[in-house]
Chain A
Amino acid sequence: MDSDDELVGALAGGRSGALGSLLERHGEAVLNFLYRLLRDRAAAEDLSQETFLRVYRHADRYVPGGGFRGWLFAIARNLALNHLRHRALEKRPDARPLKPSDPAEHAELQRAVEDAIDRIEEPFRSALVLCSIDGLSYEEAAVACDCSIKTLSSRLARARAQLRSLLAPFLPEER
């Protein structure tokens, strides 16, 4: 299987077929990252498409070295932050939670978790979503957030502390 670097190299060389492999490999992660930042499914779908089109358009700017995911999520994050700046002028769309994987008894909890993510400010939210949900390494997430690894680690810790406070009512009782 081709590595991400090889696929981006193929794109830069004009072989657009490599885009399909990148979509298959990273499409869902980017889509969900954007959804967690925007909490707007339609916008997340639009921006995830735009993210990959930018990868396609700017493949020649990518410097191989195993940092593709960081680069990819940096593009997605920049698009999301731009979108959020525009949306700040407007009433945000209804934030309906995603259909839960389990039935109704989890709906309240799911809503609470989504609300909690929503209440964590940028840039802490990006750090949390990238590392805790999408499983990026600190190095990759630092590239995506355009900061040092030390800063990323600090942001992640603060985000986790805030998440813990927000979800405290849903965590098991302390013994």
Chain B
Amino acid sequence: MISCSDRLEAMSAFLDGAPDADLEAHLASCPSCRRDLDALRQSDELLRAQPRLSWTPRLTAAVLAHARRRANGFWVLPVAAIVLMGITIVLARPRSVAPEPIAVDREALADHVRAVELLTAEDPPPDEEVLQLQVEHLGLRDAETRLHRSPVPEEIRNYLNQTQEVLSRDGRETKRFLVLRTEATDLAGRYRLPARSFHPSGRDTTSDVALFGIARIQLSSRRREEAVKTLQTLIEGHPDSRYVGTAHLELARHYLRNNDPIPALSHYSSVGECATPQVATEVKSAGDQAGTVIVGGRALAGMAPASLQTQIRNRAAFAWVRGREVTILGPKEHSRNLGDLPVSRVRYERGLAVLLVDKMEERDCARLTSQVRETLRVVR
């Protein structure tokens, strides 16, 4: 006779639609196996409910372009997305490098150097081919990953120096310039080389775009303190810039990483349209660090996306009835909606309103919950 524990494979196949009269008969008389089957089915459903990546036209175009080139006898590696940000090129002496005994992939490096030779030739290929060569570099992800922990190879430094020469020579935002700059930045950041600023002639390095780009490079080079200063300069100097929200978000994450939740919360309160469910999770984490329950001021003021409001309302109601401290994430005026609630006192800390709620008797909970819900309904 088959024991219940031996029916796992049969249940799995049954879930996939395989008829099994024996199993069905057993299920009819075995509540334990019915529960097991239900749990298997539910976990399968959770699996299928996961969000999926979309296949984009960009990916189709990249594959078809490569296929065409291969058909024509060219060897081109997959296209990587090229995102252009920043104007600083980081080039300088190597800092401390971990002496990991990982072999340098000479073949991959040879590809880099070969491309540089082409790029720095007196008669360089046309822009499209340059772009393709650079794309080929960026596609060498595996090789570069293996190189990451090895000593900074001479070839890489030579490559970066040659890149700088090309950039100095061009000094303008051609496609080739942008691609080279991006790759040099990427490589220098990857090898943790300390930065030496490079500004092409006539470029405004104080614009919001430039500051944001510099900060991104500093962050990718793990020079976080410098990035913090750059981001603060951006926020103070360009309060209306479209990058301000992201700058606040980067700062908030920086402080959260440093276990400094109050300034993190202060910055989270200003991320504006950058507020996403991921940000909400981070805010909750910051609140946990600070020992408080975070309530979105923007949500209370009816300004947050509707999708976030349910979660925030629930969290607020929970906090109030349990007598925990509540921090209103946002400017002072966002806390005005709480005026009717029996909080014991409100204090303001670095721009955030912190409400202290006394613990209460059970009989008061129902009344207060109802009051909270009513208030939130009005706010909504």
Where the two chains meet, the residues of A that have a C-beta atom closer than 8 Å to any C-beta of B are 16, 19-20, 23-24, 27-28, 31-32, 35, 41-46, 48-50, 52-53, 56-57, 83, 86-87, 89-90, 96, 98-105, 107-110, 113-114, 117, 128, 131-133, 138, 153-154, 156-158, 160-161, 163-164, 167-168, 170-172, 174
Contact = CB atoms under 8 A, between A and B. Distances in A.
A48 to B, nearest CB: 7
A157 B8 contact: yes
Given A28-B55, A46-B80, A46-B139, A167 B46 contact: yes
B53 A132 contact: no
Contact of A48 (B12, B39, B59, B141): B59
Task: Indicate the member of A108, A117, A157 with the most B CB atoms within 10 Å.
Answer: A157
A49 B63 contact: yes
Given A16-B64, A160-B12, 14 more contacts: A16-B68, A28-B54, A42-B81, A49-B79, A53-B78, A83-B142, A89-B102, A90-B146, A90-B149, A98-B52, A102-B307, A109-B46, A164-B43, A172-B42
A89 to B, nearest CB: 7
A68 to B, nearest CB: 17
B311 A42 contact: no
A50 B142 CA distance: 13
Given A56-B67, A100-B277, A104-B281, A163 B43 contact: yes
Nearest to A170: B46
A153 B64 CA distance: 36
Nearest to B139: A46
Contacts of A42: 80-81, 141
Contacts of A83: 142
B258 interface: no
Given A114-B50, A132-B47, A107 B281 contact: yes
12 contacts: A16-B64, A31-B53, A45-B81, A57-B70, A86-B145, A99-B51, A103-B307, A154-B9, A160-B44, A167-B46, A171-B39, A174-B35
Nearest to A49: B78
A42 B142 CA distance: 12
B60 A20 contact: yes
A53 B35 CA distance: 45
Given A109-B46, A164-B43, A19 B310 contact: no
A56 B311 CA distance: 48
Contact of B66 (A35, A53, A156): A53
A94 B139 CA distance: 19
A29 B43 CA distance: 20
Task: Indicate the member of B12, B15, B305 with the most A CB atoms within 10 Å.
Answer: B12
B191 to A, nearest CB: 14
Interface in B278-311: 278, 280-281, 305, 307-308, 310-311
Contact of B11 (A20, A89, A99, A157): A157
B140 to A, nearest CB: 10
A31 B52 CA distance: 9
A34 to B, nearest CB: 9
B62 interface: yes
A131 B47 CA distance: 11
Contact of A16 (B40, B44, B55, B67): B67
Nearest to B142: A86
B53 A32 contact: yes
Task: Indicate the member of B48, B53, B145 with the most A CB atoms within 10 Å.
Answer: B53
